[in-house]
Structure 1
């Protein structure tokens, strides 16, 4: 997962303190009459530019924490700030903007990372299209990225025409 994916995204509007700040974070899932506590009192501080590994046993809440930080799920209680955004109290509209402009997620299941009916180049261009980047700029940036990934000769292929490793790169 990356934060600050858009140009100027990292730290935009953020002045001091940790870039990621979770205090007493809880996530409770309710299923019928059952409540499952996925996160209980999590405290986490990550400075801008710092690299952190989230490790733990299966079912310990790693994915839940990352989903909350990515704006894919909401916490039940506590405080969670990424940059200047309060993810507990953020509006739905602001949350969409946050996910679109500031967060990048690469799923472990490769099939979730690429749109199967778009070409490799179109998949790379998709976030730029959504951000309003001009076509000429998108094309050149996409080809630069594909070249850096060793896929410059495959821009018109569909994801299923790539090897697993090539799909991970794309």
Structure 2
């Protein structure tokens, strides 16, 4: 009986992975969608960044140089993530913020060939936003380096 449960669990996990949903992520977020639903609502680049933890090309987002007053929302679920009050020009080519709105993002270690970085994602739908670095301005000293395709700006 236990063996059948483990095989069933492994098969369910494999099915979720084939559908483009991490089994860990599927249960962890308030807003979930099938892979087909994500693909239907996002452009190929948005999908690559938000659902596969890719990165847009530096300097490609018009939001990098956007300094209008307003808020930045998750493209995946419309959760408010960042305020224009916390945006700064990092010179990196990506929209950068020194802090997120309370309760808006989650983080996890991202182990790459460059070492361990802090990945950040939308707390509600799990969409990948970017990474957080320790070279930002006061008062936090943090730089949330965010892919513009993951965001929607609203005034």
State the TM bucket, normalised to the shorter chain: under 0.3
TM-score by length of structure 1 reads: 0.25
TM-score by length of structure 2 reads: 0.27
- Structure showing greater Rg: 1
> Which one has a larger percent strand, Structure 1 or Structure 2?
2
